[in-house]
């Protein structure tokens, strides 16, 4: 069977699927370079600002905590981080609870977001009657969409001559 006998829509479909899958495979095999991301999280009765942090898997996060009114806690589920921020103090205390460590005075928390998913951070020190509602979210997403889109775009570029090409001699397309 010659290439000219295969319907164009079938060739285009195969190229799009192969391009998209190629992009996803390249996302798995060749990880994108990690980015340095810095956040300042301000704690006040009874919220965190910003309430949601969005990062890509592999990013290195640098988090600085600031308490505006009373001492607040910061416990990040899934990453074994616990901290205490005091009002109007540029440093705070941090520890890894599962390692049975004592709190150490630090200026920032630094870690690599190596797990995908949604992870809640919450106040770990009772700061008032609405304390249980003081929560935020760290959303760590994989970077599949970009790689798949690049693969599909390349497949479309390869398919354009098939879609818009001139009909073959003899009136067949």
CB contact at 8 A, 46 and 128: yes
**pLDDT of the residue at 39:** 96
Structure tokens at 100: 């049975």
Give the DSSP H/E element, type plus range, for residue 160: helix 144-164
Q: Which residues pair with 70 in a beta bridge?
A: none
**pLDDT of the residue at 50:** 96
Q: Collapsing DSSP states into helix, strand and coil, what is residue 91?
A: coil
Structure tokens at 74: 């910061």
**pLDDT of the residue at 2:** 60
Which residues does 62 contact at the CB level (< 8 Å), separation at least 6?
36, 37, 38, 39, 108, 109, 110
* pLDDT per position as a tens digit, 24-37: 666 555 555 668 99
pTM of the model: 0.66
Q: Rounded to the nearest 5 degrees, what angle is found at the Cα of 21, between the Cα atoms of 18 and 25?
A: 130
**pLDDT of the residue at 54:** 94
Strands (E), 26-173: 36-44, 47-49, 52-56, 60-67, 72-76, 81-85, 92-95, 104-106, 109-112, 117-122, 135-141
Where along the chain do its domains lie?
A: 3-30+145-164, 36-142
Write phi, then psi, for 93 (nearest 5 degrees): -100, 140
**pLDDT of the residue at 26:** 62
What separation, in Å, do the N-terminal and C-terminal C-alpha atoms of the chain show?
A: 15
Residues of the chain with pLDDT under 70: 1-6, 8-9, 11-12, 15-16, 19-34, 143-149, 151, 162-173
To which CATH superfamily is domain 36-142 assigned?
Cupredoxins -  blue copper proteins (2.60.40.420)
CA distance 122 to 74: 6
């Amino acid at each position: 069977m010659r290439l000219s006998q295969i319907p164009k829509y079938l060739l285009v479909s195969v190229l799009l699927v192969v391009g998209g899958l190629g992009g996803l495979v390249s996302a798995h095999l060749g990880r994108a370079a990690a980015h340095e991301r810095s956040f300042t999280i301000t704690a006040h009765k009874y919220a965190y600002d910003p309430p949601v942090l969005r990062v890509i898997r592999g990013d290195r996060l640098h988090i600085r905590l600031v308490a505006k009114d009373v001492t607040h806690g910061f416990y990040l589920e899934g990453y074994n981080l616990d901290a205490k921020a005091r009002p109007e103090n540029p440093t705070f205390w941090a520890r890894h609870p599962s390692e049975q460590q004592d709190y150490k005075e630090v200026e920032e928390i630094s870690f690599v977001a190596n797990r995908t998913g949604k992870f809640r951070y919450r106040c770990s020190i009772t700061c008032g009657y609405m304390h249980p509602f003081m929560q935020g979210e760290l959303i760590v997403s994989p970077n599949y969409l970009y790689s798949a889109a690049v693969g599909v775009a390349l497949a479309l570029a390869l398919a354009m001559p098939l879609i818009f090409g001139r009909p073959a001699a003899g009136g067949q397309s």
